[in-house]
Structure 1
Amino acid sequence: MTCRFGNAITFGSAAALLLLSGCQPSGPVAQKADADRLVAVRTVAVTESEIQPTTTQPASVHAFYRSEIRAKVPGFVSELKVDIGDVVQAGQVLAQIDVPEMEKQRQIIQARIARLKAEEKRATAGVNLADAQVRSSQARLAQAESEMSRVDASLAAAQSEFERTSDLVERGSLQDRMLDESRKKRDSERAAKQAVASAIESAKANVAVTEAQKAAAEADLEAAQAETMIAERELEELQVMIDYATVRAPLAGIVSQRNVEPGDLVGSGADQASTKPLFVISQIDKLRVRIPVPETEAAHINPGDEVTLTFPTFSGEPAITAAVTRQSGSLDPSTRTMIVEVELENAEGKLLPGMFGRASIKLGSKVAANMLPSRAIRFSEEGNATVYVLGQDDTVTVAAIETGLDDGNSIQVRSGLLPGQRVIDAHLKRFTDGQKVSVLAN
């Protein structure tokens, strides 16, 4: 249907009348109405560029070493030497615990050692006496053996004289009386030899007895010395426990906690692990920064990788550049992350244990990737990524893509788009497949 109006009606009024009358506009009027209904958008293109793969994760600052100090012996705190914030050196006294029971035990053991030392002296004297008796009995044995040699010689002489006298008597040169005297003398020497032999046996038996007495005395001495040594070791053990009453710093650092007051009873609980420590010493001149890296990126972390650290506390200052020092080498089953550590020098004490920040770790060398500005990508509640792709005729196609690395400004497009393809830039409106748009000049 063709509608006609007078020449006095303006172009805008004609369009309005056409709509009211149900007539369809044609010609230039229709083209302008369609253009007014198109949404104006700006576009960005997928670009191929080299990127440095990184992972950005939360980071927490920890003391290089942190020692919780508990009481080893039960007692009352008699003196505190330090307080929170004090800088201490390794071995420095932190507190003193009063242990009077142990002091009394030490006195008792010392008295027992004195008694055992006296018993040692008595046993030593017994050994010396037994040794003298052994030497005396050995001397008597030697004397008896020497007497045996003399008796043997006398017996041999008497036997020889008896034989000569007997020969002379048989030939009638001497009277029988002379043979009897010679026989008596020989028999006397034999008896003397038997007496000396008995004396030798007695002397040998006496030597054996005195040697046994000496061995017994030496055993008594060794037993006394062993008893003394046991008591001395008990005293040393007790002294070690008494030394624990002087609480010392195991390392150089700062007193970050103090949970004890003078007069407190400490070290008496059965389970000290469940109680608060007396002190906590933290080494902060050097720190550890711990970074939990997700499972998907943990395998790409290596010691020496560059790390950039930023902390909200120092937002106006340059980032800290460091390197990965070590990694745990396993994933935490509860979080599926691997702990990565970075060591930082902190001589000025600028960083404090407990601070939180962000760490960006470079993963290997640069790689080629298709990139889009992050503002041009829409993410659903499920985390799925989509973009509005524009065709040659400015028609919209809703395309699902797979994303990769994210540097905060641009996101890698792993699949779903090709380099050079145009997509709608950030826009508040949602678009549908086949919808036409008006592209603004960039």
Structure 2
Amino acid sequence: MKPILLLILLSVTLAGCGQGGGGKGGRQGPPPVPITLLTLEKGELAERVSLLGESRSQADAAIKTQTEGVVSQLLVDVGDEIVAGQDVAYLDGLEQRLALAEADARLAEARSRLSELQNGTRSQVLQQRRAETRASHALQREAETDLKAVRDLAPQLIKQVEGDFQAARAAEKNAQDEYKRTQELVKQGALSARELVRVESAWEQAKGELLRAERALAVQKVSNERDEAGAVAALERARAESAKSEAVLDESLEGPRDEVVAAQAEIVAALEAARERAALEYQRASVKAPSSGTVRQRMAAVGERLDIGDTLFQVAGEDVALYFDAPESVHGKVETGQTVLLESEGSTEPIPAKVVAVARAVDPNSRRQSFRVEAPEGALLPGEAVRGTLLIPLKGDYLTVHRDALVDKGDRWVVYTVDGENKAVEQKVDYLLGVDETVAISSPKLKAGESVVGRGAPGLYPGATVMLPQASPTPGSTP
């Protein structure tokens, strides 16, 4: 302020001296206006938009079981750093071990059979096959004998039970007739009522015996049918086993057909695939991390039984991305590659980052446009709240200068240049953007490197006399 005051006092003093030198009737114009000069620059200016955002891990993952079992050991816990492929837990794997052992046994048997088909049958095996065939024939004959015995015995059993039934029915009929005769005699007074009660009781007992005999006959018939069906089924199994033994013996004697060898090879291939699946299931009892990161939550405990797809751990990934929502005022201006200055509670100075993706749609509720920023590695933690300043570069052909040079005339914006006679020349400009103390303007009559009036510009008008500073023009700021 002191240099300005000195310039003002100096101008007043010079004005007074001019009036005294003019004599009586002498007339003097307004005193020169002290000014500073600024240099127009071909600079770059960016609009600054303050935003609030959130940091999120791009590789958050849930470590899930791929097989079932009981948790036998947890190798990591909350806060531990893990890498992709690292073992984080063990399941007991009992069921998987048993399934793998069974698959190995089946595969070994099928391979042995295939080798036998391909290489021929040894004499010891032929002897065994002949013995198996003779045994199957003997079993078939035994089954035929059993069936004949069952069929021969069935009528005898039925006849015996049916005899009991006929006897019970005759007894019931006699008891009924006796009851009717006694009933008539009681009515005639020849017998007492007590005798009728005794006879009726005997009749009821005969009815019960008849019912039991009927049931016994029905049970015997069902039993005979079941025994015959069992004997028939046993005979069919014996015949099938006998036929199978004969076929195996014939094949061993004659050699297998090509289609038999091919079919056995397919069986071996299928069992090999089944064995690989069983081995994979067993390996999955060792739970591995799918990606690197930090364990942020444990979801299971030792001894707990888990099914396929149950979650063991929640992991926060190492790659952190930031998400911001741009206000409606800058829709269409946010582009990939633009700079965002980041600030968080833990940062001491702004961290520059780049916009890597912009949503091509606006949220219908908030009227905001989302975009993603890639943060420098290790700069931020997932879930951390972040303040950001988005820098939107001003596009086009324009000049930059200190805000002091720009004058608002109400209906237009102007700056002033100085001609050779130290007179102010008004230049109409378009005001494009202002950031802090710098403004962007455009005018077809101005170019970079020209000087314009800085301080003192608001008090000028076209043709006003100015007092030039002694120092050279100052680019970008007013001294």
> TM-score, normalized by length of structure 2?
0.45
Asked which structure has the greater RCO (Cα within 8 Å, sep 6+), the reply is 2
Which structure shows the bigger proportion of residues in helix conformation? 2
> TM-score, normalized by length of structure 1?
0.48
Which structure shows the bigger proportion of residues in strand conformation? 1
